[in-house]
Amino acid sequence: MRTIWKSMLRGALLAGTCAVVVSALLISAQSLRAQGKGDDKLKTGIDYFNAGDFDNAIKVYTDIAADKSFDRPVRREAFLGLGRAYFAKDNKDKAKTALSEMLDLEPPLVELNPDEEAPPLLKLYYKVRQEKAGNMQVERADPGIKTIAVLDFKNSSVDDREKFNPMEMGFSELMINQLRGAVQLKVVERERIAWLMGEIGLENTPGKFDVNSAVRVGKQLGVNAVVMGSFIKFKGDMWLGARLVKVETGEILATDDVKGDADDFFGLCEKLSAKVAKAVNVNITEAQLEKGTETKSLDAMMAYSEGLVLVERGDYDGAYKKFNEALEKDPSYEKAHLKAESIKPLLRS
């Protein structure tokens, strides 16, 4: 901090305005004090929220949000906290108002982490953003960045078909995580895709996806390409396939597949993800792909995928048990931990 003040002092002296120095130092000090005070109050609100004391959390967050002496990032966090707390109390109207006021404090763009937010709150956030934009498109174009959406995979397995049904969501989420390591590539979270399908009346069933529905979803999302995938489990083998659809024209840019031992489906998915990245002219390393594979436990991944299915059904108690089951299989499975924490406020008990 001393270095910052010295820099400001030097610049002001060069301009020959000592009065500016004093003013700048006072403003900087006041801003830092407000930021520090705001961080302390935010932590208090978070502690109340985590303890299930939503009323006191709302009081703290309301005080911060109303105090314009706090920096915008602090107030944005307070409005988000209000949205979470009101939603936990099943007050969707006030939650929506809080999220709307949070977005009024942009820029910078407020992007919620789908792993850290309760799914119903995410849907409300997407809805508020869509209403503010005045159209269905909920993804913002970013010059120089290619954006793709990965739809849920279709399970066409011959063996263990019912057992592997949850992997329709699991495989798509795994590929999304792996591709996020690629530079110059943005991958839309599957929660946003599922919300959009509900909004435009498309059934979120992989077997009913075709090129036309993929293009429709892609245009609404504002993405360059859409990945449609499927998998087959037969005896001890696993086959994974993907088609890459160019949204602008509807043409199939690439059709790729991989095959191998079913026990190595993490490695198979990494190979398929690498092929998808290559098809959109994006480079991604093995290390980046592997980093997106948060677990190498098949049992943990299966339990996590079952949890995703239950979340979409609104069975948060069942989903919470499945995410914790995944953590029992692999205690280092961070995504399972985050998902479990995100739905805690929605549990009946």
Mean pLDDT by 10 residues, the chain (349 residues): 38 40 37 57 92 94 93 93 94 95 90 89 91 64 74 92 91 93 88 86 74 89 91 92 92 93 89 92 90 91 95 94 97 95 87
The pair of structure tokens assigned to 12 is 């002001």
Q: Which residues of 244-283 are buried (b: 16+ CB within 10 A; e: fewer)?
A: bbbbeeeeebbebbbeeebeebbbbbbbbbbbbbebbebe
Instruction: Give, in order, the Cα–Cα distances in Å from 62 to each of 54, 71, 100.
Output: 12, 15, 14
pLDDT given at position 115: 87
Domain extent listing, the chain? 2-110, 147-293
Q: Residue 208 gets which letter from DSSP?
A: G
pLDDT given at position 33: 42
Question: Distance between CA atoms of 184 and 213, rounded to whole angstroms?
Answer: 26
pLDDT given at position 137: 54
pLDDT given at position 77: 94
Strands 185-188 and 225-234: unpaired
Fold exhibited by the domain 2-110: 1.25.40
* Cβ contact 336:307 at 8 Å: yes
Choose among 40, 47, 75: nearest CA to 61.
75
Q: CA 176, 177, 179: angle at the middle one, nearest 5?
A: 65
pLDDT given at position 2: 38
Task: Name the one residue in this structure whose structure tokens are 């009081």.
Answer: 59
Please give the CATH number for the structural domain made up of 147-293.
3.40.50.10070
DSSP assignment string, 80-137: HHHHHHHHHTT-HHHHHHHHHHHHHTPSSP----TTTS-HHHHHHHHHHHHHHHTSS-
Question: Distance between CA atoms of 320 and 308, rounded to whole angstroms?
Answer: 10
pTM of the model: 0.81
pLDDT given at position 1: 39
Cβ count near 348 (within 10 Å) = 5
**54-66 helix and 18-50 helix, angle to the nearest 10 degrees:** 170
Choose among 278, 267, 243, 247: nearest CA to 257.
243
* Cβ contact 174:269 at 8 Å: yes
- Is the bond preceding 114 in cis, omega lying within 30 degrees of 0? no
